Amino acid sequence: MKKLLVLLVAVAAMWGCTTEKEYVTVTEMNRMIYDFTVTNDPYPDGWGYSNGLAPHFFYNFNFPELDQFLYDNGTMVVYYDDGNTQYPLPYVRTFEEPIGGGQVRRYTRTIDYEFRRGGISFYVTNDDFQYPIKPGEMKFRVVIIW
């Protein structure tokens, strides 16, 4: 009898579950797409370097299009674009680089960003803080949707 009761409760619980999705159709979507490039030049045209407790490379862009309305009501998706693939930020990968004598240096690179009204900053941090590896030219794509 107990087994029958447990079976009935289980069937009732499963019967109450739904597998349907509700789809919402958006008839109008506003979006803006911006491409940013940080060069190999010295700062302020290329990467700056912060040599503090957590050394990192950075670049600050003026971004006047990011106003109070978009800051309050929009959403932002940012990608690192290597020309073949767009990687959503934050991007964290481990790399291996030959340093001579058959030895290699392994490090993890983190690429991230922060934004504020009127500006956006990109950061590259290598976990090998003793040997900072300059990121080189990098391209970023910013998509703002509201």
**Would you place residue 28 in the very low, low, confident or very high pLDDT band (cuts 50, 70, 90)?**
confident
- Triad 5, 10, 12: Cα angle to 5°: 95
Residue 17, pLDDT above cutoff 60: no
Average pLDDT value for the chain:
86
Residue 129: both structure tokens together: 């803080």
Ranges of H-type helices in the chain? 2-15, 68-73
Q: Phi and psi at residue 135, in whole multiples of 5°? A: -65, -25
Where is average pLDDT lowest: 32-36, 53-57, 125-129? Answer: 125-129
List, for residues 31-45, the tens digit of each pLDDT value: 999 999 999 898 888
Which residues have C-beta within 8 Å of that of residue 69, sequence separation ≥ 6? 146
DSSP designation for 117 = T
What pTM was computed for the model?
0.77
Residue 121: both structure tokens together: 């900053």
Calculate what percentage of the chain has a pLDDT beyond 70.
79
* The CA-based dihedral angle spanning residues 39, 41, 46, 48, taken in that order and rounded to the nearest 10 degrees: 140
List, for residues 60-91, the tens digit of each pLDDT value: 999 999 999 999 999 999 999 999 999 999 99
Where is average pLDDT lowest: 100-104, 112-116, 136-140? Answer: 100-104
Could you give the C-alpha distances from 146 to 29, 60, 65, 72, 76, in angstroms and in order? 7, 24, 13, 10, 9
Domain boundaries, the chain: 32-145
